Chains A and B, each alone.
Chain A
């Protein structure tokens, strides 16, 4: 994520811009919203 620069790391869920993280595995895909501290604030793993 650091390649996006500091601006991209300032993310919030309260209606402002967010950064999406996606983990593609061999059997499923997980996605999450990532906050400015690199923590997953909301995630979903619906796709197999």
Chain B
């Protein structure tokens, strides 16, 4: 993925990935629709990538529109964490399938994406965050413990995010700007058709439900928004 340079180059990289699926270019005419998950913040209604810190190449970039122009098919873009939540709800084997509650953690995390209020997941029963890498990496990461702090940020490819006290303030300022741009849309979570429990939690001011209590040692009320 080209994270710097011209936006069109990164778009070309996406097209190349799609081309890799087909033996012949002509067979791309078989494409009925394209679904894209990408790091937030983004607007899933318009398909505009707003300003993800790890995809600086796309700043208010109309990804869905550009893809529609290229392929002439419907294109839907959504937050990668939302897409992961949908996949887990539909195809996953988590404990929520028996409890009819899928724990989804929304909020800020000191060790999180650095983008603040974008929805992301933390499968608390596994102490695992899946918010930051690709779907494949998420699947591979499910059994890995959460790694806190700067080292984890760097391992996840966030070297460009400032760290330290000034870095935290910088990220908070960045988060506030994002909030002004867009609210996290939970629409795709609703599309799972499952009673999803959203927990507004902040790693620094933790407010979690009983399912998280064993994870962080705190407990309070969860908010069921659906």
Interface residues of A (CB under 8 A from B): 1-4, 8, 11, 15-34, 38-39, 42-48
Closest-by-CB residue of B relative to A42 is B21
Stretch at the interface among B30-38, B99-107, B176-184, B216-224: B30-38
Contacts A26-B133, A31-B21, A47-B1 supplied; 18 other A-B pairs, CB < 8 Å:
A1-B35, A3-B76, A11-B32, A16-B30, A21-B34, A21-B37, A22-B34, A23-B80, A26-B132, A29-B1, A30-B17, A30-B135, A30-B136, A31-B18, A34-B35, A44-B21, A45-B136, A47-B17
Q: Inter-chain contact count A-B, CB under 8 Å?
A: 121
Which 7 pairs, one residue from A and one from B, show the smallest C-beta to C-beta distance? A26-B54, A17-B32, A44-B20, A25-B134, A31-B17, A24-B38, A29-B17
Q: With a CB–CB cut-off of 8 A, which chain B residues contact A16?
A: 30
Q: Are A32 and B134 in contact (CB under 8 A)?
A: no
Interface residues of B in 13-66 (CB under 8 A from A): 13-14, 16-18, 20-21, 30-39, 54-55
Docked-complex contact A29 and B80, CB < 8 angstroms: no
| Chain B positions near chain A (C-beta within 8 angstroms) | 1, 3, 13-14, 16-18, 20-21, 30-39, 54-55, 74, 76, 80, 83, 87, 90-91, 132-137, 156-158, 188, 191
Assuming A17-B31, A42-B21, A48-B1, is B13 touching A29 (CB within 8 A)?
yes
In the complex, chain B residues whose CB is within 8 Å of the CB of A3: 76, 188, 191
Expressed in whole angstroms, the minimum distance between the Cβ of A1 and any Cβ of chain B is 5
CA distance A38 to B91 in the complex (A): 8
Whether A45 contacts B32 by the Cβ 8 Å rule is no
Given contacts A4-B76, A38-B91, A46-B20, contact A27 B157 (CB under 8 A): yes
Q: Which residues of A contact B55 (CB under 8 A)?
A: 24, 26
Q: How far is the CA of A4 from the CA of B38 in the complex (A)?
A: 18
Contact, CB under 8 Å: B90 / A44: no
Can you list 13 contacts pairing A with B, beta carbon distance less than 8 Å?
A18-B31, A18-B32, A19-B34, A22-B34, A23-B136, A25-B1, A26-B1, A26-B55, A26-B157, A31-B17, A38-B91, A47-B17, A47-B20
